[in-house]
Amino acid sequence: MTSITPNTSPPSPPLANQPGPIAWMRKNLFSDWFNSLLTVVVVLVLGYTVVGLLTWGFTVAQWQVIPNNLGLFMSGLYPRDLYWRVWTLLGFVCALGGLSWGVLGRNVSTLFSRSVLIGIGVLCAFIVLFPLTRPASLKLLPLLALVVGMAWVGRAIAKKLPNLGVWLSAIWLISLFPLYPLIFNPIPYISLVPGSILGGVGYLFFGAGRPASPVNDWGGLLLTLLVAVSGILLCFPLGLLLALGRRSQLPAVKWLSTAYIELVRGVPLIAILFMGQVMIPLFLPDGMRPERIARAVIGLTLFSAAYLAENVRAGLQAIPRGQSEAAASLGVNMPLTMFFIVLPQALKIAIPAIVGQFISLFQDTTLLSIVGLAELLGISRSILANPTYLGRYAEVYLFIGAIYWFFCYAMSLASRKIEQKLNTTH
């Protein structure tokens, strides 16, 4: 209507974003009659389900099957008098995990923010109060304390030693060695690789006592984790190499990588696992046959690597050519360009897909129960076959379902954190 005057008023404050719960509900749940109807129906269905589940969980369900077989669920037929070894391993992992947490969080104002404290509190309450954890709860609490304490220590040290992160990665990597004497029966000396203190420790703990605890006694969650962690750690480098190979300019390398990827992706995992169990022993002489668990790990690794390679390749293709051209124009050669410029960016892009692959690898370990390895699902099925616990399907499957969910969710949470940390655009 009138002429526009220059706006000299101070910038207006951002619009208030929290109109209160009533207004929020009106806007989001009851905006018109159809939405209101939907809200009511969904609330009814949800309420019915939750109430039904809770009633069942507290009155009908007979949870006794879980604490009675906790040892089986957690570590299969692992001898009871050697449980302390498993606890030591767990303690070691917790300490290292806590330390890493502290080091990663060295620049955050406080490690124990409100949500973390709440989380720890809930976990403590769960461990103390929840009947299923009773037999082990006394040992779980110190473990938790260990994680928290080491986090604090790690943060304190990391402030003085900025390179601690590199050392920690190295320790994580070296601590893999204890796995190998466990898996590969005839080569205990691998654990005595110079400098591999932890490997030596692992050998003392596990290798030396092997007659008392053959690897094939391993089962339950312990086996699931062993197979999953080994599979994840081994398939990553292999997948990376395959992805690079498929993009290589050398025709032979490219052709071989492509053939491998397409071949493996065309075969179901269960077939590969069966082949591993049945065919590898045919090719190798008697003394060199790897343990059945090792064969399973190899099968899973070879399978996942093919999928991982495609995820990494997708990341590689998303990096604009300008990046390697810029590096080339500076005189940086191909391998260095790959290592410093292309791969870091490609892997960052591929993190969600890679972690997705890891999660499905974790879940694929359930297939080992079909080839006769008593991992978490396998041991559950043999527990259910026990006449004492006949018909306790729902309880057992809910329990192991919760365990699978816990680990998979932890992985996806970790991937989100890593993505946030690597985000450099803000």
Partner 1 sequence: MTQFQTETDARPATGAEPVIVAKDVEKWYDNGFHVLKGVDLTVNRGEVVVVMGPSGSGKSTFIRTFNALEPYQKGSVEIDGILISHDLKDIEKVRKEVGMVFQQFNLFPHLTVLQNVTLAPIWVRRWPKRKANEVAMQLLERVGIAEQAKKFPGQLSGGQQQRVAIARSLAMQPKAMLFDEPTSALDPEMVREVLDVMRELAGEGMTMVCVTHEVGFAREVADRVVLMADGILVEEGTPDAFFNNPQEERSQKFLSQIL
Binding interface with partner 1 (CB under 8 A): 320, 322-323, 325-333, 336, 340-341, 344-345, 348, 422, 424-426
In this complex, which beta carbon is closest to partner 1, that of residue 139 or of residue 247?
A: 247
Output the smallest distance, CB 113 to partner 1, in A: 25
In this complex, which beta carbon is closest to partner 1, that of residue 341 or of residue 377?
A: 341
In this complex, which beta carbon is closest to partner 1, that of residue 262 or of residue 325?
A: 325
The torsion defined by the Cα of 396, 401, 407 and 408, in degrees rounded to 10, comes to 160
In this complex, which beta carbon is closest to partner 1, that of residue 95 or of residue 327?
A: 327
The C-alpha atoms of residue 24 and residue 45 are separated, in whole angstroms, by: 22
DSSP per-residue letters across 157-201: HHHH-TTHHHHHHHHHHHTTTTHHHHH-TT-GGGGG-TT-HHHHH
Both structure tokens of 237: 């480098």
- List CB contacts of 247: < 8 A, sequence separation 6 or more: 254, 313, 316
In this complex, which beta carbon is closest to partner 1, that of residue 216 or of residue 323?
A: 323
Both structure tokens of 255: 């052709």
Output the smallest distance, CB 398 to partner 1, in A: 43
Amino acid identity, position 36:
S
Q: Long-range contacts: 365-370, Cβ < 8 Å, 24+?
A: 365/224, 365/227, 365/228, 365/231, 365/300, 367/269, 367/270, 367/273, 368/223, 368/227, 368/273, 368/296, 370/270, 370/273
In this complex, which beta carbon is closest to partner 1, that of residue 94 or of residue 346?
A: 346
Which DSSP state fits 318? Answer: T
Output the smallest distance, CB 248 to partner 1, in A: 15
Shortest CA distance to 297 belongs to which of 174, 176, 169?
A: 176
DSSP-based three-state secondary structure for 335: helix
CB 172 within 8 A of CB 274: no
In this complex, which beta carbon is closest to partner 1, that of residue 134 or of residue 416?
A: 416
What is the phi/psi pair of residue 203, to 5°? Answer: -65, -45
What is the tally of helices (H) and strands (E) in the chain?
20, 0
Residue 291 burial by CB count (10 A; 0-12/13-18/19+): exposed, middle or buried?
middle
The C-alpha atoms of residue 294 and residue 196 are separated, in whole angstroms, by: 21
Output the smallest distance, CB 411 to partner 1, in A: 23
Output the smallest distance, CB 236 to partner 1, in A: 19
In this complex, which beta carbon is closest to partner 1, that of residue 270 or of residue 332?
A: 332
What is the phi/psi pair of residue 130, to 5°? Answer: -75, 125
Q: Long-range contacts: 339-348, Cβ < 8 Å, 24+?
A: 342/316, 343/240, 343/316, 345/315, 345/319, 346/312, 346/315, 346/316, 346/318, 346/319, 347/312, 347/315, 348/315, 348/419, 348/422
Output the smallest distance, CB 359 to partner 1, in A: 25
Output the smallest distance, CB 157 to partner 1, in A: 23
In this complex, which beta carbon is closest to partner 1, that of residue 18 or of residue 424?
A: 424
Output the smallest distance, CB 346 to partner 1, in A: 10
In this complex, which beta carbon is closest to partner 1, that of residue 104 or of residue 341?
A: 341
CB 304 within 8 A of CB 363: no
Output the smallest distance, CB 348 to partner 1, in A: 7
Output the smallest distance, CB 412 to partner 1, in A: 22
In this complex, which beta carbon is closest to partner 1, that of residue 235 or of residue 341?
A: 341
Output the smallest distance, CB 415 to partner 1, in A: 17
The widest CA-to-CA distance across the chain, in whole angstroms, is: 97
